[in-house]
Amino acid sequence: MLSEDAQAAHERTVFTEFAHVAALQIDFSTIVSRPKGEPDIRCTLNGVSVGFELGRILDEGMQNVRNRRRRGEMVSTSSSKKVKVPEREMLKKKLSKRFAGLVELLLYFDNESFMTGDVPVFGDAEYKRHCEHVMVPLIRAVNPSPYRRYWVFERHRPSVLWSFSPN
């Protein structure tokens, strides 16, 4: 588990990478971490203050299976009832939050280490279809949406895999 300072620094790094890849008109000098109860990041986007809530997409059940395999244990993913759709699980968690002002949600696949890294299980085109079927219904079920835009970013191959605006 990272300290609060290390977590905030990690989130700023992820967000900065994402903003460059997404070609957002961010004033990079305004990127700041925010305290609990606020979005993780606040910055100026197109001249307007916008918050970004971040969420790492990581299937802890799958990580457990991978770690057990690394130790030489015989285990199959079908034997693990705890393997889930990690982006859907993180989205459910983030949809329950409410913030003041303009806020966007950035979910990301990390690549820092085998313990925190994960990659999508689909190709890019399939991943977009996956999001339309798995994530959009959850977003549409919450009215009004707590976020003005939703993003999925992959750090391994720096790319925006999906974005969605519910309005």
59-67 CB contacts, 8 Å cutoff, 24+ apart:
59/83, 59/84, 59/85, 59/86, 59/89, 59/118, 62/86, 62/118, 63/115, 63/118, 66/114, 67/115
* Per-residue tens of pLDDT for the chain, all 167 residues: 678 899 999 999 999 999 999 999 999 999 999 999 999 999 999 999 999 999 999 866 656 565 666 667 776 655 555 546 888 999 999 999 999 999 999 999 986 655 554 555 566 788 899 999 999 999 999 999 999 999 999 998 899 999 999 98
pLDDT of residue 29: 97
pLDDT of residue 74: 73
pLDDT of residue 9: 96
pLDDT of residue 114: 52
What CA–CA distance (Å, rounded) separates 159 from 81?
30
pLDDT of residue 44: 98
Q: Is the peptide bond before 137 cis (omega within 30 degrees of 0)?
A: no
Question: Per the confidence metrics, is the pTM higher than 0.75?
Answer: yes
